[in-house]
Structure 1
Amino acid sequence: MPQTVTGRFDDGSAYQVQVTGNADRPVVGSARAAALVELHAGELIPLTPTGPLRTVAGDDTEAVLAILRRYTYVLENH
């Protein structure tokens, strides 16, 4: 089930995306957020500040959310 995430980038630009869990289109709604996820695909990222580490893949919603939390300010996640 897709999750909606609202946040903003470091420059203050707001975004709202749906995290789809689909490997082909992990996020829908912001080209910039989609590019951010694509840029970090294949990297290890901690799911929480203390771990565990997971390889970022488009079909892994937890890893995609971790990318958004790490590189943007997530205001709301529902």
Structure 2
Amino acid sequence: MLVTGTLEDGAAYQVEVTGRADRPVTGSRRVRALVEQYRGQPVLLRPLGPRRPLDPADSAAVLALLRQHTRVVEAR
């Protein structure tokens, strides 16, 4: 899945969410560091739940994390 967005400081990013635990995203070291920082922390998959721990191999959880901590412009 290809995700385009901006970080809190306005820097643009484009990453591919791979669904692999060893390399959950490719394309941006900052986004990869964000995913690593929140590994195992609870994320909301939708605004009202469910909540589950961030597993880097779970594409839906990684996308939910990006939506919570960055401004996602497009995900396809």
TM-score, normalised with respect to structure 1: 0.96
Please give the per-residue CA displacement for 1:23-55, whole angstroms capped at 9, x wherever unaligned. 000000000000000000001111011000111
Give the SS at the match of 1:67. helix
The residue correspondences of 1:1-78 to structure 2 (distance < 5 A) are: 3-78=1-76
Gaps of 5+ in 2: none
Gaps of 5+ in 1: none
User: Displaced runs of 4+ in structure 1, greater than 4 A?
Assistant: none
Number of aligned positions between the proteins: 76
Percentage identity across paired residues of the two chains: 53
TM-score, normalised with respect to structure 2: 0.98
Q: CA RMSD in A?
A: 0.4
Instruction: Give the counterpart letter for 2:36 in structure 1.
Output: E
